[in-house]
Chains A and B, each alone.
Chain A
């Protein structure tokens, strides 16, 4: 008898589920996100999606894949025909590596007057990287520049942030005299220092030419850039573990704990170390300095964003775009900015988190966009070799000339 009742209940349950599926109202949008579910960005996105569901009657199948998950899994899934309507990742990866899967968003943007309250520099960057047409919507904008501890600068008596290499040396001397170390970095970011320095001399295109064609010895600016860092080491401005500590050792250690004044990093840094610095840490940011006779100045930096993109084969493009608007406009954009200590994507959210207020002016002065590390990592077969030799240069184990010779030999 019990068995029969159980079977009856089970049959009823199956029937109800089936009828529910048939008569359910609204559409289903599948969204693969690059965040991990416990990150502040993911928590706000989940809230925004819930609000969208309540307002629209549609259902969102939201899946947090994490960085590696989406990087490895999205393209094979799309190739296999998995239904994914909306996804997000870094601006370059989406627009370059996954360009064949993107829906052109120009019409949707126009129809919804999206650009009226979007950051023009970010929309411009998204268009540029996609070859002229808008195929992704930026959010969580970021900029990669020099972050510093304002209290150390004040204590050292530095009145204005350095804009030239000479000024950086002078500021570093004052910082050293005050009992602090001027600069630090971790292994994950060490290459960006050399990329920026070389790009200041010969521009990003020059850097890419050097790393892809192996013109290390043939380009005299390589030696100059190396000598600049050799000089920083010789004068005692660099941390003794500059670029050799495994990330985030120095970021969370000597920088966040107030032993070192400067760290070349992205605007995500305050969020990453807020647990160590506490709320009283005074954040400053300035553009990586210009070098004498250099091609680029402080107007150039790597800036970008995470972007949303819609699958070109989707049947719910309007709905997917509405979700993008929910996350990147108004209430949830503001919340995303506050919770993740990030830059708002909506221009009506004019108030930036206190920790990032110094970034605002730096960002406003940028006109030239570098790709990641100004192109110094563009040859994956050389990146580890450049990294090893630059680490040695910055810890006094090789000279600038030996650095250039080693790279010239390795690239031939």
Chain B
């Protein structure tokens, strides 16, 4: 068939132009912006002041930014392990032939359709409330006074309180992704192994897990992207002024770009852009490492 170059260009151009305008241009602009001091995010380029890598140096030397990166790492690693383990466990159980599968799946997924604001309010004002909260009253009724006396939102416990509440809402989403992966595995494999006398744990180890490697990779990447964008929950757990236990790089970026709390602080969108570039790099590194460690094309089914 004869190739028509004009047609190629005509059909490709709209998508290409849009891709450049919506993805490529903002990425380059953000990278360039990170090398400048920019007071307003909408300032014209003529108002930008070149500072080289000063923004990056400033971030590395700011203890609050280092704290925010440490918080992000803990959310990603600890939260990731908990969420992935629970999501996989629920997905395997739901696909093991139990009754009321659709009902349980809907229940586990439900937190995802509720606004984060409503969920966080429930956790803060109902579960963690020091006066009549679920935890306080439950521990009191059980006679566990030392546990009932814990202030779940003080600086010793707030990070864990936040992480627990966040993970609660994230399990359902990743469970669905695992579940769809498991459903794709041919049932004959399980049936054959059952006939051969394999137990459920053996089936998981020898069939489900190896055939799920692609899905695992997807889940890790998705988890990394959502973790890097951790913002709303942090804001809801620390309204008005940020806190060391809840601040994440995204919140730090927001403070730099739009100002902090009720005070009129100095703004630097360039510093915010530098945070964005560093976070982008983190996701790329996680993606590359995951791709190296987990091969998903070894098995075909």
Q: Which residues of A contact B (CB under 8 A)?
A: 71-72, 75-76, 79-80, 90, 92-93, 96-97, 187-189, 191, 240-241, 244-247, 249, 253-254, 371-373, 375, 377-385, 387-388, 391-392, 395, 397, 410
Q: A187-B153, A381-B62, A381-B64 are in contact. Are A373 and B244 (CB under 8 A)?
A: no
- Is there an interface contact between A97 and B255, defined as CB atoms closer than 8 Å? no
Query: Cα distance A127–B41 when bound, in Å?
Result: 27
Besides the contacts A253-B129, A377-B241, what 8 more A-B pairs have beta carbons closer than 8 Å?
Answer: A75-B40, A80-B42, A246-B124, A249-B124, A377-B263, A383-B261, A388-B245, A391-B154
Question: Inside 8 A of A249's CB, which chain B residues have their CB?
Answer: 124-125, 129-131, 153
* Complex partner residue of B42 from A75, A92, A373, CB under 8 angstroms: A75
* Residues 24-48 of chain B, each 1 if its beta carbon lies under 8 Å from chain A, else 0: 0000000000000000111100000
Q: A97-B259, A377-B262, A378-B265 are in contact. Are A383 and B242 (CB under 8 A)?
A: yes
- Is there an interface contact between A72 and B242, defined as CB atoms closer than 8 Å? no
Query: Cα distance A384–B255 when bound, in Å?
Result: 12
- Is there an interface contact between A372 and B263, defined as CB atoms closer than 8 Å? yes
- Is there an interface contact between A241 and B154, defined as CB atoms closer than 8 Å? yes
* Complex partner residue of B40 from A79, A93, A372, CB under 8 angstroms: A79
Query: Cα distance A96–B265 when bound, in Å?
Result: 10
- Is there an interface contact between B130 and A246, defined as CB atoms closer than 8 Å? no
* Complex partner residue of B64 from A90, A191, A385, CB under 8 angstroms: A385
- Is there an interface contact between B131 and A254, defined as CB atoms closer than 8 Å? yes
Query: Cα distance A381–B62 when bound, in Å?
Result: 7
Residue of B41, B67, B241 with most chain A CB atoms under a 10 A cut-off: B241
Question: Inside 8 A of A92's CB, which chain B residues have their CB?
Answer: 263-264
Chain B's nearest CB lies how many Å from the CB of A397? 8
Residue B112 CB within 8 A of the other chain: no
Question: Inside 8 A of A96's CB, which chain B residues have their CB?
Answer: 264
Closest B residue to A253 by beta carbon equals B131
Residue B213 CB within 8 A of the other chain: no
Interfacial residues of chain B within 236-287, with CB under 8 A of chain A in the complex: 237-245, 247, 255-256, 258-265, 267
* Complex partner residue of B258 from A71, A241, A371, A375, CB under 8 angstroms: A71
- Is there an interface contact between B241 and A383, defined as CB atoms closer than 8 Å? yes
* Complex partner residue of A377 from B65, B128, B130, B260, CB under 8 angstroms: B260
Interfacial residues of chain B within 122-171, with CB under 8 A of chain A in the complex: 124-125, 128-131, 151, 153-156
* Complex partner residue of A90 from B63, B125, B240, B262, CB under 8 angstroms: B262
Residue of B40, B43, B67, B263 with most chain A CB atoms under a 10 A cut-off: B263
12 A-B residue pairings within 8 Å (CB atoms): A76-B40, A79-B43, A92-B263, A97-B259, A246-B128, A371-B263, A372-B263, A377-B261, A377-B262, A381-B65, A395-B151, A397-B156
Question: Inside 8 A of B267's CB, which chain A residues have their CB?
Answer: 97
Question: Inside 8 A of A391's CB, which chain B residues have their CB?
Answer: 154-155
Query: Cα distance A385–B65 when bound, in Å?
Result: 11
Query: Cα distance A328–B243 when bound, in Å?
Result: 37
Chain A's nearest CB lies how many Å from the CB of B42? 4
Closest B residue to A378 by beta carbon equals B263
Closest A residue to B247 by beta carbon equals A384
Question: Inside 8 A of B125's CB, which chain A residues have their CB?
Answer: 246, 249
Query: Cα distance A248–B7 when bound, in Å?
Result: 62
- Is there an interface contact between B262 and A384, defined as CB atoms closer than 8 Å? no
Q: A241-B151, A372-B262, A380-B265 are in contact. Are A79 and B42 (CB under 8 A)?
A: yes
Please count how many residues in chain B sit with their CB below 8 Å of the partner chain's CB atoms.
41
Question: Inside 8 A of A372's CB, which chain B residues have their CB?
Answer: 261-263
- Is there an interface contact between B264 and A385, defined as CB atoms closer than 8 Å? no
Query: Cα distance A17–B267 when bound, in Å?
Result: 45
Question: Inside 8 A of A387's CB, which chain B residues have their CB?
Answer: 241, 243-244
Query: Cα distance A397–B155 when bound, in Å?
Result: 10
Q: A246-B237, A384-B243 are in contact. Are A97 and B153 (CB under 8 A)?
A: no
Q: A377-B260, A383-B260, A388-B245 are in contact. Are A187 and B238 (CB under 8 A)?
A: yes
Query: Cα distance A191–B242 when bound, in Å?
Result: 11
Q: A253-B129, A381-B62, A382-B64 are in contact. Are A244 and B154 (CB under 8 A)?
A: yes
- Is there an interface contact between A392 and B155, defined as CB atoms closer than 8 Å? yes
- Is there an interface contact between B243 and A187, defined as CB atoms closer than 8 Å? yes
Residue of A97, A245, A372 with most chain B CB atoms under a 10 A cut-off: A245
Chain B's nearest CB lies how many Å from the CB of A353? 24
Chain B's nearest CB lies how many Å from the CB of A191? 6
- Is there an interface contact between B42 and A380, defined as CB atoms closer than 8 Å? no
Chain B's nearest CB lies how many Å from the CB of A254? 7
- Is there an interface contact between A188 and B241, defined as CB atoms closer than 8 Å? yes
Query: Cα distance A375–B263 when bound, in Å?
Result: 8
Query: Cα distance A89–B66 when bound, in Å?
Result: 33
Question: Inside 8 A of A410's CB, which chain B residues have their CB?
Answer: 63
Closest A residue to B63 by beta carbon equals A410
Query: Cα distance A254–B65 when bound, in Å?
Result: 34
Question: Inside 8 A of B156's CB, which chain A residues have their CB?
Answer: 397
Query: Cα distance A157–B202 when bound, in Å?
Result: 74
Question: Inside 8 A of A93's CB, which chain B residues have their CB?
Answer: 259, 264
Question: Inside 8 A of B239's CB, which chain A residues have their CB?
Answer: 187-188, 246-247
Query: Cα distance A380–B263 when bound, in Å?
Result: 9
Chain B's nearest CB lies how many Å from the CB of A305? 14
Chain B's nearest CB lies how many Å from the CB of A330? 30
Query: Cα distance A264–B5 when bound, in Å?
Result: 72
Query: Cα distance A383–B261 when bound, in Å?
Result: 10
Closest B residue to A372 by beta carbon equals B262
Query: Cα distance A388–B130 when bound, in Å?
Result: 18
- Is there an interface contact between A384 and B263, defined as CB atoms closer than 8 Å? no
Question: Inside 8 A of B41's CB, which chain A residues have their CB?
Answer: 75-76
Closest A residue to B237 by beta carbon equals A246
Chain B's nearest CB lies how many Å from the CB of A50? 30
Question: Inside 8 A of A392's CB, which chain B residues have their CB?
Answer: 155
Chain A's nearest CB lies how many Å from the CB of B251? 9
Interfacial residues of chain B within 206-253, with CB under 8 A of chain A in the complex: 237-245, 247
Residue of A383, A384, A395 with most chain B CB atoms under a 10 A cut-off: A384
Chain B's nearest CB lies how many Å from the CB of A89? 11
Question: Inside 8 A of B265's CB, which chain A residues have their CB?
Answer: 378-380
